[in-house]
Structure 1
Amino acid sequence: MTATLQCISPIDGAVFAERPAASPDQASAAVARARVAQTAWAARPLAERVALVRAGIAALDAMSDEMVPELARMMGRPIRYGGEMGGVKERALHMADIAETALAPRIIESSPAFERRIARRPHGVVFVIAPWNYPYLTAINTVAPALIAGNAVILKHASQTLLAGERMVRAFAAAGIPEDVFQNLFLNHQTTEALIAARAFDFVNFTGSVGGGRAIERAAAGTFTPVGLELGGKDPGYVRADADPVAAADGLIDGAMFNSGQCCCGIERIYVHESRFDAFVERAVQIVSGYRLGDPLDPDATHGPMAHARFAAVVRAQQADAIARGARPLIDPELFPADDGGAWLAPQVYVDVDHTMTIMREESFGPVIGVMPVRDDDEAVALMNDSDFGLTAAIFTGDAEAAAAIGDRLETGTVFMNRCDYLDPALVWTGCKDTGRGAALSTLGYDALTRPKSYHLRKT
């Protein structure tokens, strides 16, 4: 009997979409076709691959009006935010722009006696396991440069955003990319892990939970398959004594609450210099109190349901733990009557928090934030580093030199000053500690998606 994957809409708990999961034999056959097709794809001129990926992005962009309400139904993001294509285009087109330089051979010597160079060659078949929170943005980080570099790509999307991978492949096929070069597969966990263990892929990129990352590493153990992992986060924000507390609150609270807090690099804990604490908190409460939790298909709704009731349950448990340990919620729950104890979760701001509370230590991935006062930079750095995760950190200050010095002390992949919750495609996207390992975007993203090959040619 064929297993079925379902997307349960968080709006009403009904089945929004379902697809049959590929059997192990069907999945293996698809990977085999990709491997055959990849050779001819890699042999095409780089400029041709770049042009086809650009055309694929344009074809996907043309679907945006359909994608936006579809995303609202699949994972609850309000339509007022317009989908993900702005970021998709920024990232994919930047990677297209830098491809010729990033993939060019590195010439060591070119003389009458020797030619010595280091070339970049595609891995072969790249497997992309994408998450539901930003299904197009997260996938394109790897899909676009992997195809440009000459790899074939197999995409597996989360069941919560079941239709996203299907749309991506349809757009790229319409643009002229051969169907076997870029394929979307509906896979269950068992088949996914079996394929990795069988060395079906030449590179695996996974974005998701720490537990999911461990499962991928276990499956790949002994295969020597390179793996890129972007896992959990607990990204901190710090407001220094010289910062404008209102501007800092505007940036950090949006970074904490956008997409109902379901952002890989969303702000999950905030530290504010004690001299700015009251003003920051006052502005934070004002912002959050103005949100509207409602039907994500309603243009007036700022927040919809979380993607699944079980995700909201994690946040509720953290809030209960925080309150039991003395934390104080500041947002009146009566402002959000749609909170139903399930997927519909009201946003909340907490003070009187500390690092004994799970809300300040474990990933929340929801519309909740704890705010702590600090005495100085040293205390802020110690608290920001007191985490199992390290994806991004945001510092709000008027002193760029101080921000850089603090950033040097932080255990994180990216340091922001006066902004947060953003991926600059010209900079490498990476993390440390339990956030994972690897590199995406920038020239280093191409290094991750290719292997080096040396040429030492003696002419005389």
Structure 2
Amino acid sequence: MRNELLIDGEWRKPASPVRIPVISPSTDEVIGEAPDANADDVDAAVRAARRSFDEGVWRHLPMADRVDVLARAIDLIEPRLDEIGRLVTAEMGLPSTFAAMQIPGAIGVGRFFLDVARGSSLTELRTTMHGPAAVIKEPVGVVASIAPWNGPFNMAVSKLWPALVSGCSVVYKPAPETPLDGFFIAEALTEAGVPAGVFNYITGDRDAGRALVAHPGVDKVSFTGSTAAGRQIGRECGGSFKRLQLELGGKSAAIVLDDADLTTTMTGLATGSFFNTGQVCAAYSRVLVPGNRYDEVVGALVATAESFVVGDPFDPATTMGPLVSKRQQERVLGYIETGRAEGATVATGGGVPAGMDTGAYIQPTVFTGVENGMRIAQEEIFGPVASVIRYDTLDEAIAIANDSEYGLHGAVFTADPERAAHVARRVRTGTFSVNSFTYNTEAPFGGMKCSGVGRDTGPEAIDSYYELKAVNLTEETAPLFS
């Protein structure tokens, strides 16, 4: 475990002696520490990235060469996936059985991006009324990449591989709660041959993130996190016209239609509402149910919530680990109390499991009697809390789903394909699932409204790291761009 920062191809002692303790959310014990980079460290990292980009040591390489280097990095990481999975479980509480599937899945995402890059063309020659023109994709420049804590290793791969394969230089900062697993990626990229300055790894608290976003040497900010933080970043980037990619919060609605299969619906809600202890931006935190099936669906959802085994994330029997921190636990418990005060009813859960005062554990919770105007139905809780909302007509259900400042994800559960397509087209979200909770990394993922700007997955993720240059040509120069 390192107490250094990767800047300009070297592991450097940070300018600040301050360290960030990494606290296990399952035991409350300090399991490690990481440097708390200050403004001088951030400046050094951005200057290194700026120099590497301007000199073209990476962006001028053929695409095939960049792909080969990033493929070698994956090959170096792969033998250590079990070790990385254990570390992620210790850092943020993801049950080890899920980490054993999720962490290798991230490697598959990285390889997908490389396959897309191999088959891509960076120049398109067009015939226009003014003569031939070339449209060229060029890397956007220096990217400040800032990740959340709820899927640290996966998010690192999904942010870094598209940015790097496009030819950008990157300064990457993980969340202060989960800084340790990223060192594996930093070491692998360096050993694989990414040139000095092209990838820089800094750890730090929110002040480091603010300094990184504000740095004049940054061309684009890629941020995943809360909508409140996204608003601040948007204001900062707007002043200097930095390119911006934001994947923010959600308050996604799962619309259960009157013909929905109950087993299929509960399978989707078990994952959609409660996976990762509800710490998922795309979670189905609102469950919309028709009046004639309300009691049936509530009963099944309560049974689903009560079926989770809350406990030590390293125990193979555990299906729900702790929240990431005591602070997050306090936040979720506060929202549960708010829901009670607003008049909603806790059908199950609603507190800390008996005998689990150590750690940041919480019971999976289902609220009934929820009105869509309540805070628990409008604000992102980011915990295993599902609010069940009754509706009478399909138009009303769609209106309730759209009555949110967010627009990240959503779902419909129905046996009728035509009704499913109808709902999918009318709900205003960037992503939507039918009869499931699906995070499809081969399709674009992102949100509308206050859920963000841009898309983080699919081929579109790589495209987001390019600027388009139009070159108006003569007939004589056109063949040079074919």
Q: What is the TM-score normalised by the length of structure 2? A: 0.89
Q: Confirm or deny: 8 A CA contact 1:6 1:162 kept in the other structure.
A: no
Residue type matched to 2:313 in 1? P
Contact 1:351 1:372 in 2 (8 A): yes
The answer to whether the 8 Å contact 2:50/2:217 transfers is no
Q: 1:432 aligns with which of 442, 448, 470?
A: 448
Q: CA deviation at 1:212?
A: 1.2
Relative to 1, partners in 2 of residues 1:68 and 1:453: Cα closer, same or farther, differing over 3 Å? same
Whether the 8 Å CA contact 1:132–1:158 is kept in 2: the answer is yes
Which letter does structure 2 place at the counterpart of 1:452? L
Closer, same or farther: CA 242–20 of 1 in aligned 2, 3 Å: same
Q: Residue 455 of structure 1: which of 446, 471, 479 is its match?
A: 471
Is 2:57 the partner of 1:17?
Answer: no
Q: Report the CA distance shift for 1:333/1:458 in structure 2 as closer, same or farther (over 3 A).
A: closer
1:419 lines up with 2:453 in the alignment: no
Matched residue pairs, number? 458
Whether 2:87 is the aligned partner of 1:81: answer no
1:54: which partner in 2?
71
Give 1:101 shift: 4.2
Distance 1:22 1:326 in 2: 45
- Shift of the alpha carbon at 1:426? 2.7
**What's the secondary structure of 1:441's corresponding residue?**
coil
Matched-pair contact (CA < 8 Å) for 1:232–1:389: yes
3-state DSSP class of the match of 1:222?
Answer: helix
Go from structure 1 to structure 2 and tell me whether the alpha carbon gap of 1:107 and 1:361 turns closer, same or farther (over 3 Å shift). Answer: same
* 1:169 match: 186
Name which of structure 1's ranges 147-156 and 17-26 shifts more when overlaid on structure 2: 17-26
Number of the residue aligned with 1:404? 421
Whichever residue aligns with residue 27 of structure 1, its letter is V
Alignment match, 1:395:
412
Q: Distance in 2 between matches of 1:257 and 1:21?
A: 32
Cα distance in structure 2, aligned partners of 1:288 and 1:188: 34
1:56-71 counterparts in 2 under 5 A?
56-71=73-88
Cα deviation for residue 235 of structure 1 reads 1.0
Matches of 1:192 and 1:200 in 2, distance apart?
14
RMSD over equivalenced CA pairs, Å: 2.3
Whole-angstrom CA distance in 2 between matches of 1:237 and 1:186: 37
The 3 A distance-change label for structure 1 pair 73 and 28 is same
Alpha-carbon distance in structure 2 between the residues aligned to 1:267 and 1:436: 17
Counterpart for residue 27 of structure 1: 42
- Summarize the Cα distance change of 1:58–1:284 in structure 2 as closer, same or farther, 3 Å threshold: farther
Shift of the 36–10 alpha-carbon distance from structure 1 to 2, 3 Å rule, reads same
Pick aligned residue for 1:138 from 155, 166, 182: 155
Please give the alpha-carbon distance, in whole angstroms, between the structure 1 residues aligned to 2:326 and 2:216: 35
Cα distance in structure 1, aligned partners of 2:138 and 2:349: 57
Report the CA distance between 1:412 and its aligned residue. Answer: 0.8
Q: How many angstroms apart in 2 are the aligned matches of 1:197 and 1:372? A: 42
Whether 1:240 aligns to 2:257 is yes
**Per the alignment, in what secondary structure is the counterpart of residue 247 of structure 1?**
helix
Contact 1:145 1:445 in 2 (8 A): yes
Q: Distance in 2 between matches of 1:28 and 1:260?
A: 36
CA contact (8 A) 2:344 2:368 kept: yes
The answer on whether the counterparts of 2:175 and 2:205 sit within 8 Å (CA) in structure 1 is no
Alpha-carbon deviations, 1:335-364, whole Å to 9, x = none? 942443972111111211112422211101
CA distance in 1 between counterparts of 2:461 and 2:349 reads 44
Correspondent of 2:313 among 296, 305, 316: 296
Task: Go from structure 1 to structure 2 and tell me whether the alpha carbon gap of 1:192 and 1:319 turns closer, same or farther (over 3 Å shift).
Answer: closer
Displacement of 1:441 after TM fit? Answer: 2.1
**C-alpha distance in structure 1 between counterparts of 2:208 and 2:388, whole Å:** 43
* Residue equivalent to 1:96: 114
Spell out the pairing of 1:169-318 with structure 2 (5 A cutoff): 169-318=186-335
8 A Cα contact 1:289 1:335, kept in partner? no
The residue aligned with 1:441 is 457
Deviation for aligned residue 1:71: 1.3
TM-superposed deviation, 1:55: 2.4
Aligned residue identity for 1:36: R
Task: Give a deviation string over 1:122-168, Cα, whole Å, max 9, x none.
Answer: 01211110000001222222211111111112110001101122221
Look up the equivalent residue of 1:370 and give its one-letter code: S
Deviates more, 1:135-144 or 1:54-63: 54-63
SS at match of 2:348: coil
Gaps of 5+ in 1: none
Q: State the match for 2:348 in structure 1.
A: 331
Asked if the contact 2:113/2:162 (under 8 Å) is kept, the reply is yes
Report percent identity of matched pairs. Answer: 33
Distance 1:102 1:58 in 2: 22
Deviations 1:350-389 (A, max 9, x none): 2111124222111011011111222221111011111111
Give the letter aligned to residue 301 of structure 1.
Answer: T
Moved more, 303-312 or 91-100: 91-100
Q: 1:216 to 1:363 in 2, by over 3 A?
A: same
CA distance in 2, matches of 1:297, 1:161: 17
**Any idea what the Cα deviations from partners look like across 1:177-219, whole Å, max 9, x if unmatched?**
2342222112333343234323121111000111211222233
Alignment deviations for residues 45-73 of structure 1 (CA, whole Å, 9 cap, x no partner) = 11121122222223223221111221121
Q: SS in structure 2 opposite 1:354? A: coil
- Cα displacement (A) at 1:393: 0.6
State whether residues 400 and 417 of structure 1, in contact with CA within 8 Å, keep that contact through their aligned partners in structure 2: no
Contact 1:102/1:443 (CA < 8 Å) preserved in 2?
no
Contact 1:238 1:271 (8 Å CA) reproduced: yes
